[in-house]
């Protein structure tokens, strides 16, 4: 199904635009649903496709990315696809080496240690030269979807990318990265600005390639308190929304809805709702009603079932989904988990989640 297509234009007509309508705040017959990490190790076919390949080699293969993106859609009636890729392709584009170590996760061979290390990074990045493989994957997947559902592109946000680049991998404290914010604020801003420029071009390139919505992942927001978030995360999150939109206009590209997902940043929900994104994604640690009260009526909310709820029996999943829908309301809302799917989750339970969202939201809308 994923044979390479040359022309990015002439995409198939979209048959299910529920996700895009909800993102723009238009009325929907049912609440759309997709899952973060929906293309993932919980699917046996994913493990089979990935088995022979190095992780980042997979990311660089448009054909494989297309196949992995489509796998969950063959199983579940999801309302959106998200391109299979990784947020760490951006540091790679800046010249850093990242490898996937089994059992450990992504690892930087030479993380940033001193301020001088910033000079080793590419100061000007040609995203088409460095990340063209992602654009090819998007174009190919958009054609291969045959208009079934919209395709979401994404990037990591600057602070989250910076924290990986300094920590050299995952970390429970982010102590090395945060120490930069306290000890080297100017250098931190320099790095964040560089990342902002690259992320902006990268997201615009994804729309040019065929992405119909964009999500920015500030996955490490929870490591910052309100003040550091105000200084080192929010301004760049805002800048990206503004710059992407103005470049899309300049290049006569479609103005696609944008989603900001800042994990564990409840202290910043009011600001995030005014940061220029159509959709604010939520993790599972906030009550739906509270999130609505803080974000107001002008943004769509996305989330936020605890991923671990999918370990519950199927009937229980249905009850939890119903409660979530009653909390958020079925309009201006996109159902999702509060974070990604875990590798040991049952595909049947994922199916039960998707089905429950459709069934209960249709029922609530009728009554």
pLDDT digits (tens, 9 = 90+) for 126-140: 999 999 999 999 999
Catalytic one of 17, 21, 42, 50? 50
Catalytic one of 41, 193, 274, 362? 41
Does some domain include residue 162? yes
Catalytic one of 17, 21, 37, 201? 37
Predicted local distance difference test score (pLDDT) of residue 52? 81
Does some domain include residue 55? yes
Predicted local distance difference test score (pLDDT) of residue 103? 87
Active-site annotation holds for 333:
no
Task: Give the chain's domain count.
Answer: 1
Does some domain include residue 62? yes
Active-site annotation holds for 37:
yes
For every one of its 367 residues, what pLDDT tens digit does the chain have, with 9 covering 90 and above? Answer: 676 554 556 999 999 999 999 999 999 999 999 999 999 999 999 999 998 889 999 999 999 999 999 999 999 999 999 999 999 999 999 999 999 998 899 999 999 999 999 999 999 999 999 999 999 999 999 999 999 999 999 999 999 999 999 999 999 999 999 999 999 999 999 999 999 999 999 999 999 999 999 999 999 999 999 999 999 999 999 999 999 999 999 999 999 999 999 999 999 999 999 999 999 999 999 999 999 999 999 999 999 999 999 999 999 999 999 999 999 999 999 999 999 999 999 999 999 999 999 999 999 999 9
Contact call for residues 31 and 357 (beta carbons, < 8 A): yes
Does some domain include residue 1? no
Does some domain include residue 11? no
Catalytic one of 86, 117, 231, 306? 86
Catalytic one of 17, 142, 148, 164? 164
pLDDT digits (tens, 9 = 90+) for 42-54: 999 999 999 888 9
Residue 243 domain boundaries: 22-366
Contact call for residues 311 and 279 (beta carbons, < 8 A): no
Active-site annotation holds for 41:
yes
Strands (E) in the chain, as ranges, are: 81-82, 98-101, 105-108, 151-156, 213-218, 258-262, 279-281, 300-305, 333-337
Task: Please report how many Cα atoms fall inside a 13 Å half-sphere around the Cα of residue 201, on the Cβ side.
Answer: 17
Contact call for residues 63 and 4 (beta carbons, < 8 A): yes
Does some domain include residue 6? no
Q: What is the CATH number of the domain that holds 104?
A: 3.20.20.210
């Amino acid at each position: 199904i994923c044979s390479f297509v040359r022309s990015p234009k002439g995409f198939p007509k979209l048959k299910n635009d529920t996700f895009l309508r909800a993102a723009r705040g238009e009325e929907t017959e049912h609440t759309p649903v997709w899952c973060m990490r929906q293309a993932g190790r919980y699917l046996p076919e994913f493990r089979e496709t990935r088995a022979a390949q190095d992780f980042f080699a997979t990311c660089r293969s448009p054909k494989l990315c297309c196949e992995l993106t489509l796998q969950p859609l063959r199983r579940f009636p999801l309302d959106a696809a998200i391109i299979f890729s990784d947020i760490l392709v951006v540091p790679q584009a800046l010249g850093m080496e990242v490898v996937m170590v089994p059992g450990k996760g992504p690892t930087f061979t030479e993380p940033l240690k001193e301020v001088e290390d910033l000079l080793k990074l590419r100061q000007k990045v040609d995203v088409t030269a460095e990340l063209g493989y992602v654009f090819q994957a998007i174009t190919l997947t958009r054609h291969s979807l045959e208009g079934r559902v919209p395709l979401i592109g994404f990037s990591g946000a600057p602070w989250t990318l910076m924290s990986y680049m300094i920590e050299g991998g995952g970390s429970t404290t982010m102590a090395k990265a945060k120490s930069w914010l306290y000890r080297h604020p100017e250098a931190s801003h320099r790095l964040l600005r560089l990342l902002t420029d690259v992320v902006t071009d990268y997201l615009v390139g994804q729309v040019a390639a065929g992405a119909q919505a964009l999500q920015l992942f500030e996955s490490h927001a929870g490591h910052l308190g309100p003040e550091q978030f105000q200084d080192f995360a929010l301004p760049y999150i805002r800048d990206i929304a503004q710059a992407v939109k103005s470049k899309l206009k300049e290049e006569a590209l479609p103005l696609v809805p944008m989603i900001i997902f800042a994990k564990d940043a409840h202290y910043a929900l009011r600001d995030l709702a005014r940061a220029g994104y159509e959709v604010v994604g939520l993790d599972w640690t906030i009550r739906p009603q509270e999130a609505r009260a803080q974000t107001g009526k002008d943004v769509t909310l996305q989330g936020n079932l605890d991923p671990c709820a999918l370990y519950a029996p199927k009937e229980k999943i249905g009850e939890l989904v119903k409660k979530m829908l009653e909390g958020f309301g079925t309009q201006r809302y996109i159902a999702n988990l509060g974070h990604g799917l875990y590798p040991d989750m049952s595909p049947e339970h994922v199916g039960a989640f998707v089905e429950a969202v459709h069934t209960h939201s249709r029922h609530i809308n009728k009554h």
